[in-house]
Amino acid sequence: MGSLPLSIDILPDDVVALELDDAAKRLGVSSNRLRTLIRDHNLLAASRGGRPVIPEAFFGPDGLAKHLEGLVTILLDGGFTRDEALRWLYTKQDDLGLYPADALHTDSAREMLRRAQAEAF
């Protein structure tokens, strides 16, 4: 557990998050595969109460939310640290009234990709 790259105390209290075993079941993968996704930066995880968690908004009906991996890649390749990327995903966009992570499930998903590109570079 200590070897996972986790963002500490970044998620707002109102964010629903899944523990790793539940997240692995949700994706239909082993816990080891889920940990690999986190280590390879395809998925961001946080620590909440000393336990690793993944925000529920990162999941869609058939696995990961459609644009999540691309959005994370844009942020990390653009110079954001994991902590900064997760903080950006959970900073409300005033004009939408949503977190970018939640906007991935709306018609604003591509707009979040555009905003990430503009901020990251």
pLDDT tens per residue, range 5-40? 898 889 999 999 999 999 999 999 999 999 999 999
Average pLDDT for residues 53-70, to the nearest whole number?
Answer: 93
CA angle 19, 24, 28 (to 5 degrees): 150
Residue 121 has pLDDT above 80, yes or no: no
Q: For 38, phi and psi rounded to 5 degrees?
A: -70, -45
Token pair recorded at residue 71 = 């959005």
Residue 2 has pLDDT above 60, yes or no: no
Average pLDDT for residues 73-88, to the nearest whole number?
Answer: 95
CA–CA dist 121, 119 (Å, integer): 6
Cβ contacts of 26 within 8 Å, gap of 6 or more: 18, 59
- 93 contacts 99 by C-beta, under 8 angstroms: yes
pLDDT of residue 17: 97
Q: What integer best gives the mean pLDDT of the chain? A: 92
Q: Which element (helix H / strand E) includes 118?
A: helix 109-120
pTM, two decimals, is: 0.90
